[in-house]
Every structure is written in structure tokens, then in C-alpha cells.
Amino acid sequence: MNKLFLTLALGVLTLCSLTACGSDDNPKSDGATVSVSSTNVAFGAAADTTIVGISANHEWGAYTDESWLTVSPDNSGQPNAPISIIVAKNTEEAERIGTVTIMAGTARAYITVTQAAAEKSDDPVVDPGDTIDAPEGYKLVWNDEFNEGTQPGSDWTYEVQPAYWVNSELQAYTKSNDVATISDGTLKITCKKVNGTIYSARLYAKKTTGWKYGYIEASIKVPTGKGTWPAFWMMPVNYTSWPADGEIDIMEHVGYNPNVIHSTIHCNKYNNGGTSIETASRSVSTATTEFHKYAVEWTASYMTFYIDGKSLLTYRNDGTGKDAWPFDAAFYPILNLAWGGSWGGAQGVDESALPATLEVDYVRVFQAE
């Protein structure tokens, strides 16, 4: 009886091996092959189409699970035929990636499809609860109200440099250590000491494009403390040398002289001369405790600097050329908080003032209508 059972069991095992028992889980190749002329295709954000060649020894089908992707045709009885890969317009500010799968019998080929993010709109964003009044004859073209996210957005570029990089300043400029954060509707640039090193932030808005002429304004509360040197200023997009290419200092403040605000221009003809032609100052009694509006109206003929809408300094184009007026090119806005340096540290520094914070409610750029 046992011998008969053993004989039957061996027979079943032999039969299974001959007939591929369990083949549903481990299918054998049917000899089909398939390949594609490109395994990676990339598109811009616009709706578009590209052709990819299919080479197979078997009829094939194509499919994708992405709603923004289409393939045509999605099957063919012809072993070798091209397909069109079609993408819809990407309206999101994020890149997207999908896969097209080609099936020929048991063979598979894959095409990775990448589509670029939509370009970020340069249309100014207005807080629904805030009405932005443009100066007469101007319209808003760009702004940051610092109402979204926890850090500056993609319009801002961080400078990353060691201490003493410029003006003998003592801080290192960095993107780390939370030196630039957004909360409660304001940008906060904080100068702090971390493991013996002082860090801060220097941020550029629209550095590669900037603007030529306009009314540029920020609402700012400056920090206290001897050694602090905050600034809201502008530099040329196509910079080659200083001061020949110009510098526009809309607002500067040094902590050893609290609540005194300075506006200055720099060029070859006027550079740190201290004359009333190129610089002016005003005491603003609550500059370190309240927000104030600092602005420049910049035209082809003049630049007028303002504090809370009241003019402080007007610098005029005298028509003598670039040495006196290099301000006929695009400039970009800058926000930074320096520590010490040739001006901020002229009367020493007081590290008990750290951390110190420059707080910015908004930055806005208007241009002539």
C-alpha cells in the first residue's frame, strides 16, 4: 500500500515538472522582445507632442496611468511602428514625471516622461485683506507681502559668504541656521551667534532681471544693538565694478546711532564723500520699535528717497554721463543685516544684542503706467 502511494506521488511530481505546474506565478518567456528609440523624453510646461519609435517582434500595446499623458496609437498589430506621446499644459509650479509602458507579449519597455513646471507668475500678489495704493502714475508690478510659507520664496536669492567677505563685516552670510524666516506676515532676518560663529542673511529679489526705474518701497522695523547694520538697497543686474556701476542705498541704519535713517547713492563722481548731493539722514524716533516705509522714486532724470512718504534726498542726473549717472540700467533690491564692519562696527559691537532681527512687512515695486 505504501509503495503504491509513493509511486503515485512521484508520478505527480514528474507530471508537474513536465507541464510547468505553478506557471501562473512564474510565466515563461514567450520569446517576445520590445525596445524603444528613447527611454527618457522631456517637455516644457506647454502642451506638446513627441514621437518615439517602437521596435518589437510581436504585436504590442501602450498605456500610462497619468491623466496629463496620452499615447497614440495605444496598440498596433505592426511589430515596428512609432507612437506619439502627448502632454497637456502644466499649470502647476512643480515638475511632473510619468511613465509610458510598452507591452509585447511578456516583454516590457518603459519611457520616462518629464514635464517642466509652469513658470511662476510675475503678477503681483495682493493680500485679500490689504489694499495696495500705487503712487500716482504708477502700477504695481511685483511684490512680496511675506504672507505665505516659512522662508523666502523662489524670487529671492541668498548670498553665502564667510565673515570679512565685504566691508570687514563680522558675520558669515548663510542660508542655514534659520537666519531668514517668515511668520505672522513678516520676513525676519536674524543675526545670531551659533557655536562661536555669527551668522546672518543677505537676500536679493529678482537678481537676474531686476527693474529699470520705478518706485521701490519696503515697510521695515530695524533692530537695536551696537554692531547691527541693516540695509534696504539696490545693485545693478549687470555688475562689473564698484562704484562705477552704481549703488542705491534706500535705507541704512547703524546700531550705535539708533533711530537715525540714512539714504545714499554711490557712483564714480560721488562715493562716500558725505556731501548733501549724495546722502541725507533723518531721525525717526520709532524706527526700532515700529514699521516705517522706506522708498525711492527712480526715473531717468532723478532719484528721490522717501521716509513714510516724505522726501529725504533727491539726486539728479546732471547729464555728464556714467560717472555721475550709472543709473540707466536694471537694478535689483537687497535686504541684509550685517554685524560690525567698517560702519556698523565703527564704535565697536555689543554681542549682548544678539540675536538681533530686521523685520520686513513687505517689499513692493511699482513702475510707470
Q: Write out the catalytic residue numbers.
A: 247, 252
Give the Cα separation of 346 and 367 in Å (integer).
Answer: 37
Maximum Cα–Cα distance across the chain: 119
User: What is the arrangement of strands in the sheet containing 279-283, beginning at the earlier edge strand?
Assistant: 156-158, 202-205, 331-339, 228-236, 247-252, 260-266, 279-283
For residues 135 and 215, the answer to whether their CB atoms sit within 8 Å is yes
H or E element: which one contains 264? strand 260-266
For residues 300 and 315, the answer to whether their CB atoms sit within 8 Å is no
Q: Tell me if residue 317 falls in helix, strand or coil.
A: coil
Amino acid residing at 39: T
Please, what sign has the CA dihedral across residues 24, 27, 33, 34? positive
Amino acid residing at 286: T
Amino acid residing at 307: I
Give the Cα separation of 291 and 93 in Å (integer).
Answer: 32
Q: Tell me if residue 4 falls in helix, strand or coil.
A: helix
CA distances from 240 to 28, 203, 272, 278, 306 (A): 68, 19, 19, 22, 28
H or E element: which one contains 3? helix 2-19
What's the full length of the chain, in residues? Answer: 369
Could you tell me which residues come within 8 angstroms of residue 112 by beta carbon, excluding any fewer than 6 positions away?
39, 40, 41, 97, 98, 99
For residues 261 and 287, the answer to whether their CB atoms sit within 8 Å is yes
- The alpha carbon of 50 is separated from its chain's Cα centroid by a whole number of angstroms, namely 30
